[in-house]
């Protein structure tokens, strides 16, 4: 674990809701926010992993909640209950991506679950949290999406489409939210997570390319010559959530080791 570059008091008194927190970037983000002093609510479908994470976080008052982001009614009920204890100042929208493969290989119904899990859940939770953030005078929303919003990645057509929708949603909101609330995106590059491994397997099944060849082709594109650590991405999330980061709004920050060629 890479230590947070910020003190353990930077976020004292702030509550954070981290979605998709059972593993990878979500888990690392929860740890970073807790180390900075926030009370963290971690959610995902994996209750056992969440309880283990909650018990490992720095500080007190953290919560672990099993939640299926595709179930809108469950999301409403859960968030309503959480808000009974006061405002949630930080929201990290993060969820598992869809399987890889060519876009033309997807049926219409293949879009439904990923869009519910990402765009629909993010919009629903954001609408519920904004009044409390505004009353508290501070709010930070960070969406974990992908570098594909700028440069679509071959063989993950559905994911490219979904991430682009999230980026446009976020940019639109950046023009509408109250002055005290920021919304920004993190664009992870090739990151050392279970998601990347499962994506390689999915591409292998749909294209016949070997997993070794897929992984090698990814690393060839990265100037630093390695996968990004989840903790590196989490530190970028933390920075955008700090009280003194209020001037950063509507940006998409890549943590990709320099892979993208666009400016």
8 A C-beta contact, residue 26 and residue 2: no
Please report, for residues 20, 71, 149, 161, 165, the alpha-carbon distance to residue 49 in angstroms, rounded to integers and kept in the order given: 11, 20, 30, 29, 29
**Rounded Cα distance, 258 and 48, in Å:** 36
In tens, the pLDDT along 120-151 reads 999 999 999 999 999 999 999 999 999 999 99
* Domains, the chain, with CATH or none: 15-104+111-189+231-254 (3.40.50.720)
8 A C-beta contact, residue 147 and residue 188: yes
pTM of the model: 0.92
pLDDT of residue 217: 85
User: Residue 182's beta-bridge partner residues?
Assistant: 140
pLDDT of residue 3: 56
**For helices 194-207 and 211-219, angle between their N-to-C axes, nearest 10 degrees:** 120
pLDDT of residue 7: 60
pLDDT of residue 263: 84
Q: Considering only CA atoms, which of 233, 210, 27, 220 is closest in space to residue 147? A: 233
8 A C-beta contact, residue 37 and residue 11: yes
pLDDT of residue 1: 47
The segments of the chain whose pLDDT lies below 50 read: 1
DSSP three-state, residue 216: helix
């Amino acid at each position: 674990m890479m230590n947070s570059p910020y003190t353990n008091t930077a976020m004292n008194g702030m509550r954070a809701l981290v979605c998709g927190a059972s593993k990878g970037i979500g888990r690392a983000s929860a740890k970073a926010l807790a180390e900075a002093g926030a009370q963290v609510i971690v959610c995902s479908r994996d209750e056992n992993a969440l309880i283990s994470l909650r018990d490992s976080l720095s500080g007190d008052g953290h919560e672990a909640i099993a939640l299926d982001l595709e179930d809108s009614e469950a999301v409403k009920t859960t968030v309503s209950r959480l808000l009974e204890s006061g405002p949630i100042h930080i929201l990290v929208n993060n969820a598992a991506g869809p399987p890889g493969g060519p876009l033309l290989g997807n049926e219409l119904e293949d879009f439904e679950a990923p869009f519910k899990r990402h765009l629909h859940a993010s919009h629903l939770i954001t609408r519920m949290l904004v009044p409390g953030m505004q009353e508290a005078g501070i709010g930070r929303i960070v969406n974990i999406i992908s570098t594909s919003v700028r440069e679509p990645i071959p063989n993950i057509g559905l994911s490219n489409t979904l991430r682009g929708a999230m980026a446009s949603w976020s940019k639109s909101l950046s023009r509408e939210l109250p002055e005290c609330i920021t919304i920004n995106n993190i664009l992870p590059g090739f990151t050392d997570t279970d998601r990347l491994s499962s994506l390689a397997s999915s591409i292998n099944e749909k294209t016949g390319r070997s997993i070794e060849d897929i992984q090698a082709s990814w690393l060839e594109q990265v100037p630093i010559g390695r996968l990004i650590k989840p903790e590196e991405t989490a530190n970028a999330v933390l920075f955008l959530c700090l009280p003194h980061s209020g001037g950063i709004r509507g940006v998409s920050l890549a943590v990709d080791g320099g892979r993208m060629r666009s400016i």
